[in-house]
Amino acid sequence: MTQPSIVIRPPGPKEDNFAQFREFWRYKHLLAVLVDRGIRIRYKNSVLGVAWSMVTPILSVFVYSVLVTAILHSGGNNESAHIAAASLPWNFFSLAILDSSAAVLQQLGLIKKIYFPREIPVISNVLQNLVQFVISFGVFLLYRYGLLAIIYHQWVGLPPYQVIYLPVVVIIMVLFTTGCAFFISATNVFYEDVKFIVSLLLTLGMYSVPVLYAAEKIRYMARFTPHQQSIIYHLYLLNPVAWVSEAFRQMFFGVYDMSPKGPTAPYLYHVAQWTAPFDVRIMCIDGLESVLMCYLGYAYFNRLKRKFTERP
């Protein structure tokens, strides 16, 4: 018995974002195929294959260990693991944005020939990097709760209770990244300078998020009054990328205690407690920001996607 044919109809110009999303959802199987294909192609002709996904986080941990503990002589025994945890969301964000910036442009020839939801290449690149993130996260857990325990001959203990928020933090990270990817990929179709600007901004942005330092260092900057410190600190964490990086540090280690220790050593710090002041209020605010960014990015993308085929 023959199945009825499916009529593929591009969404009309007056359809809103929710109608566009329903149209996209009809192609979820195509999205899954593209994610799987993208991961396979990435490592198709390599000897190690998917194992290359683990090489970068392992080398990063090694570099952090040598740089922070051996050369700079700063931090404690697990300082490299602190940096490795905070770098996980930043690496996901930066790689997903870079890959997605040219996602539509790379598929432009196919887009001009057949119809499929134009957002699929963008979301596909984000999800491919999410798979990379999961692999890197697994490597981090092995390092944090396996290798460090062997090296220092003691169990590092269970993570703070705030780890229960991990799924929410990852969702916030993915939503904000996807929204940014929509903005950048759509704009890059018409102005290819965008990908170069984004690459430069990401290079500089590495130092604007708490990866190589804890956000508490901003909270206790000596040049400001306590009231000013509090305002700057909370405004800083309203950046979802910065907050997610710090949240990963808090969920697996606790918080740096950087309160004054005395007149001779005013701002020394150490890991003083296992339970971090994980501010759920900031999580909710950054969550709303991420949802808004994803919605606005999708609306912007939908407004421009009908002009993609007009590009020479």
Would you say 286 and 168 are in contact if contact means Cβ atoms under 8 Å apart?
Answer: no
Q: Where are the beta strands (DSSP E) in the chain?
A: 255-257, 270-273
Top pLDDT among 126 and 109 is at 126
For residue 165, which of 251, 246, 275 has the smallest C-alpha distance?
251
Instruction: Give the model's confidence band at 97: pLDDT under 50 very low, under 70 low, under 90 confident, else very high.
Output: very high
Predicted pLDDT at 45: 65
Q: Which two tokens stand for residue 281?
A: 């209020």
pLDDT (tens digit, 9 = 90+) per residue, 15-60? 577 888 888 888 889 888 888 888 888 777 665 666 666 677 677 7
The pTM of this model reads: 0.83
For residue 250, which of 230, 272, 221, 226 has the smallest C-alpha distance?
272
Do strands 270-273 and 255-257 pair parallel, antiparallel, or not at all (unpaired)?
Answer: antiparallel
- Does the pLDDT value for residue 136 go beyond 80? yes
State phi, psi for 44 to the nearest 5 degrees: -60, -50
Query: What distance in Å separates the CA atoms of residue 26 and residue 103, rounded to the nearest whole number?
Result: 20
Instruction: Give the model's confidence band at 72: pLDDT under 50 very low, under 70 low, under 90 confident, else very high.
Output: low
pLDDT (tens digit, 9 = 90+) per residue, 161-194? 888 999 999 999 999 999 999 999 999 988 888 8
Domain ranges of the chain: 18-39+50-310
Q: Which two tokens stand for residue 189?
A: 């179709």
Q: Which two tokens stand for residue 53?
A: 């996904």
Predicted pLDDT at 298: 94
**3-class DSSP state of 157:** coil
Query: What distance in Å separates the CA atoms of residue 251 and residue 243, rounded to the nearest whole number?
Result: 12
